[in-house]
Structure 1
């Protein structure tokens, strides 16, 4: 079943659930009010009759006086115990015949439904005791057809039924309009997705009316998602192009030197050694690139880290020793205290620090400084270089996958645009943060903030 049909049915059913109880209440209140008004009139009439009975001396006077109180289609009786009628006047023999008299010692009123000449009619009967001194001399009974009440009831039923049908019809039309209004951006989204599925080209939804509601928010969110997807696709295309170029160069070198060795063998020892060294260097470069890709893939599929106590000071000293031996660069460590202990995955934190130091080595030629700080809640690692720096507008994108500030320089230094993305992902696993401050030509400071 379509969502539009569901909305139509639900809104109509809800409208009926509201209108039917309201109609029942209106009908009951109408009947109760009408009968109460008639009952009040009969109560007043009975009080007047009982007052006049004390002044009447003969039955002829009583009959004449009671006839004056008769209304259209009514009767008046005076009853004695054992339901004995001692006096009755009426202008409706059928009504008098159908309604049996009852003696009462307490006043009350009741309604009856009788079959009359033109169908069923409602009859209101009120009964009152007749006091005489401190005793009861009988009871007064007044019965009257409520002429036109049944017709008014039928008319009211017809009006309420018509209003219910009209309300349901309006609800159906309103539900269809509401469903179309709600489904329009959803339908546009479905249509856009189908086009994307067929063409394979991401595209956004056209928002015609600025409704500022959840539907516009959903469409805007979809468009932002598509924009990010398009940006990522462009970056991935660029990365594939760059990676192809990066791989093509070492593979060409390896192939050239391999062909040289194949043709000449090891006769020229100097050239053979040069070829072997070149093949080894290019193979190492390819290996490093492959390891970076594997690290990224493993990190994206990993949600659990092995936490243990790690001494940041000792860890940094070990890393510095390894890098100094390889790169012959000055790296200075400053620590406010020792040891600085955190709960972390040692291999992954080591990987983050190496990524930061590797970037500092690639994009600077002077000294590199590392500061370790500790407070009650956080351990902070700051890596500072005095190199080329990063433009301010690039900092917001620096942690995105495949993003490289200077593509030409990155190719020269062997960068892939994945290092900082990997570092941020590792920090996220540790519930930590990574921040960058940089000025072009003055250097860059990267700060790691880890829970203590």
Structure 2
């Protein structure tokens, strides 16, 4: 069953239940009020009659006093304690004969349903005791046919029935309109999803009206999700394109030298040695590039951090010891406190620092300075070189994948253009920042900002 049909049926059923409940309250309230009014009127008449009747009055005089109080289809009678009628006036003998006399010493009302002329009739009866010298000597019994009540009841039932049917019809129409209104953006979303499934191309929902409700929020959230997907797909396509471009050159070189070896064999040792050396260099470059691809994928996947307290001073000294022996370059470490600690993933933080120092080594020939400092809620690791620098217009592009400021120098030094992208992702995982400041021909300074605090799993507190 469609959700629109469910909404329509549920709303209609609810409206009908509400109408029936209201109708029941209206009907029984009407009957109660009308009957009470009839009883009050009869009691009032009975009280008047009792005041007018004297025990010295003859039967004929009493009848004359009772007759004016008769209404259409009614009876008035006086009943003795032995339940015998001593006086009675009526304009409906059949009605009077159907109601048996009853003696009572207390005021009371009675509602009877009798069958007259092949149909049921409602009869109202009131009984008022007649007292003399402090004793009850008889009962005045007043009964009449409730013609107006039956007519009013039938009319009210007809009106309530008509209103209930009209309410049900209007509820069906309103429920249909409401369900269509609610389901329109959902239907658009379903159609959009089906189009995406068929074509494989992400699409956004067209929001025609600003309703500012949950449905619009759902559509906006869906569009935002599609936007993220499109952005990620574009990054994926760009990554594949860039990776293919980067791998194409070393593979072409490897293939060319392999073809040379196949054509000339190994007779010319000098040519063969150059070819093998070039193949080895390009294979090594592909290996490094592949490792960087894996590092980038790992930092972008948001894998769980192995966070723990790290002494940054000790970590940097260990890194410098390894790099100095490998690159034979002067790297100076500057810090004010010997114990500067952060809570971070040691492996990934070390990787980010090595990336910055490696870039500084590649793009400068002078010494490299590394500064460790604490500022408010941040621990800052700053790597400064005095090399070629970066043009101001290029700084905002340095975090893009495979981007190189000096492509010729990068290729000579084996750079892939992925280092700063990886470092930025590592800082993002640590809820930190990376900032690049550079002046062309003067040098570059890159700062890692790590938040102070406590990590619980992947959550920073």
TM class by shorter chain equals 0.7 to 0.9
**Residue 143 (structure 1) aligns with:** 143
The one-character-per-residue Cα deviations of 1:331-382 (angstroms, maximum 9, x if unpaired) are 544444333445544223323433454566667777453424387xx66233
- Displacement, 1:91? 1.5
**Residue 30 (structure 1) aligns with:** 30
Q: In 2, Cα distance between the equivalents of 1:408 and 1:187?
A: 52
**Residue 430 (structure 1) aligns with:** none
Alignment of 1:1-400 (within 5 A): 1-54=1-54, 57-117=57-117, 119-261=119-261, 263-265=264-266, 267-268=268-269, 274-298=274-298, 303-327=303-327, 331-358=331-358, 367-373=368-374, 380-385=379-384, 387-388=389-390, 394=396
- Displacement, 1:419? 1.0
Bigger mean CA offset, 36-45 vs 253-262: 253-262
Contact 2:435 2:448 (C-alpha < 8 Å) held by counterparts = yes
CA separation of 1:79 and 1:307: change in aligned 2, threshold 3 A:
same
CA separation of 1:329 and 1:237: change in aligned 2, threshold 3 A:
farther
CA separation of 1:63 and 1:436: change in aligned 2, threshold 3 A:
same
Bigger mean CA offset, 299-308 vs 141-150: 299-308
**Residue 449 (structure 1) aligns with:** 451
- Displacement, 1:249? 1.0
Contact 2:130 2:139 (C-alpha < 8 Å) held by counterparts = yes
Q: In 1, Cα distance between the equivalents of 2:116 and 2:406?
A: 106
Match of 1:415 among 410, 414, 417: 417
5+ residue gaps, structure 1: 428-432
Bigger mean CA offset, 105-114 vs 301-310: 301-310
CA separation of 1:246 and 1:50: change in aligned 2, threshold 3 A:
same
Contact 2:79 2:86 (C-alpha < 8 Å) held by counterparts = yes
Count of matched residue pairs: 440
- Displacement, 1:175? 1.2
- Displacement, 1:272? 5.1
Contact 2:380 2:447 (C-alpha < 8 Å) held by counterparts = no
Contact 1:310 1:342 (C-alpha < 8 Å) held by counterparts = yes
The one-character-per-residue Cα deviations of 1:391-431 (angstroms, maximum 9, x if unpaired) are 69958x95xxx65666885975411474146414632xxxx
Q: In 2, Cα distance between the equivalents of 1:352 and 1:56?
A: 124
Secondary structure of the structure 1 residue equivalent to 2:432: strand
- Displacement, 1:203? 2.2
Secondary structure of the structure 2 residue equivalent to 1:66: helix
Contact 2:378 2:449 (C-alpha < 8 Å) held by counterparts = no
- Displacement, 1:147? 0.4
The yes-or-no answer on 1:426 pairing with 2:429 is yes
Secondary structure of the structure 2 residue equivalent to 1:44: helix
CA separation of 1:295 and 1:280: change in aligned 2, threshold 3 A:
same
Contact 2:427 2:448 (C-alpha < 8 Å) held by counterparts = no
Return the TM-score normalized by structure 1.
0.84
5+ residue gaps, structure 2: 455-461
